[in-house]
Amino acid sequence: MKGKNKTSKKTDKEVFMNLKTDFGFKKIFGNKTLLIAFLKTILFEDITEIEYLPAEQLGYVKENRKAVYDVYCTTSSGKRFIVEMQASSQPNFAERMLFYMSYPIISQAPKGKVKKTDSDGKEVKKVWDYSIEGVYMIGILNFTLFPEKEAKNIVVEHIKLVRQKTNIVFTDKLEFVTIELPKFRKRKKNLLSLQDKWLYSLKNMEKLPECPKEFDDEILRELYENAKINNLTGEEMEAYSKSVMDYDDVILAVDYAKELGKKEGKKEGKREGKREGIEIGKKQGIEKGEKQGIEIGKIEERINFVQRCHKNGIGIEQIINLTGLAEEQVFAILAML
């Protein structure tokens, strides 16, 4: 195919895109029909129309940090939806979700003075009553966020603010939804609901030779047709190949960090861990870390350098400038401390 990246040998063997890659995810969910169908399947909301909003959200002050979403949209009724694909575990991911949610909430506040005219034609100040439309964040995670025994079989988790003593929802205007793909273990023959089939596709599509014959739903057929690698232009194929390489680097780095953790664990004994993607687990207690886009031969050297910089008080932005790493890569390395 013209324009195909010469490093894309792996993608030559695949029929469908890996939807866990940045390119594959945005390519599919940039399709309004598919995005609406997915949101309805996960949230059971009656969504008929959406409008995509700018993926980059800036704070009110220039110096504030910014949030960049994979997909950000609003419905005709005003509800906001953020949809994120996360290929590997991130430090403080729950707090990151809160941070991302803050922007679509704050953005609903009136800008400047709000005025109206009374019956006598006089201009009077209108007081905003803090009424907001609902905000939802859906995180599709290629790692386990909730490792507790009670949650081991819960794939789709709906999270709301709840009054502890009464277990009554505090507000229905804020909701987090996490989808932990590693916990989805159903085989093709056991897929019962439309949600099952979507989750199976998100997790396994790049491994499949064709759209499963059992998937007779029109929207699923459209999903698989849009995900065909042969439909990509030369420029898109190059972008997808790069995205696959980035994704593979993440997985490779995590696997390598696990091996380092095992060796360290044998020497120093077992250490308790917290979350999958950061540590192997409480029983093994072996610390594992992650980072992205670093060649394996240079991994230990780069990790040590970033951690030394941090311990010496060098800021995140300076570390990024010194190493050329992305922000999420730096945070992932620092999470191994």
**Same domain (yes/no): 141, 19:** yes
pTM exceeds 0.95 for this model = no
- Kindly report, residue by residue over 78-112, the tens digit of the pLDDT: 899 999 998 887 778 899 899 889 988 988 888 76
Neighbour count for residue 202 (Cβ, 10 Å)? 22
Residue 267 falls inside a structural domain: no
Residue 177 pairs in a beta bridge with 138, 158
| Band of pLDDT at residue 265, cut at 50, 70 and 90 | low
pLDDT > 80? residue 304:
no
**Same domain (yes/no): 212, 76:** yes
Q: How far is CA 295 from CA 171, 260, 290, 299, in A?
A: 46, 15, 13, 6
**Same domain (yes/no): 315, 194:** no
Residue 8 falls inside a structural domain: no
**Same domain (yes/no): 179, 325:** no
**Same domain (yes/no): 45, 132:** yes
Give the whole-number percent of the chain exceeding pLDDT 70.
Answer: 74
Residue 239 falls inside a structural domain: no
Q: What is the 3-state secondary structure (H, E, C) of 88-146?
A: CCCCCHHHHHHHHHHHHHHCCCCCCCCEEECCCCCEEECCCCCCCCCEEEEEEECCCCC
- Kindly report, residue by residue over 211-260, the tens digit of the pLDDT: 999 898 999 999 999 999 999 999 999 999 999 988 888 777 766 666 66
**Same domain (yes/no): 227, 307:** no
DSSP designation for 231: G
Residue 145 falls inside a structural domain: yes
> Which range, 52-56, 112-116, 293-297, is most confident?
52-56
What's the structural domain count of the chain?
2
Range of the domain at 332: 291-337
SS3 258: helix
pLDDT > 80? residue 56:
no
Q: Tell me whether strands 56-57 and 50-52 are parallel, antiparallel or unpaired.
A: unpaired
pLDDT > 60? residue 7:
no
Residue 277 falls inside a structural domain: no
Taking the alpha carbons at both ends of the chain, their separation in whole angstroms is 45
**Same domain (yes/no): 99, 215:** yes
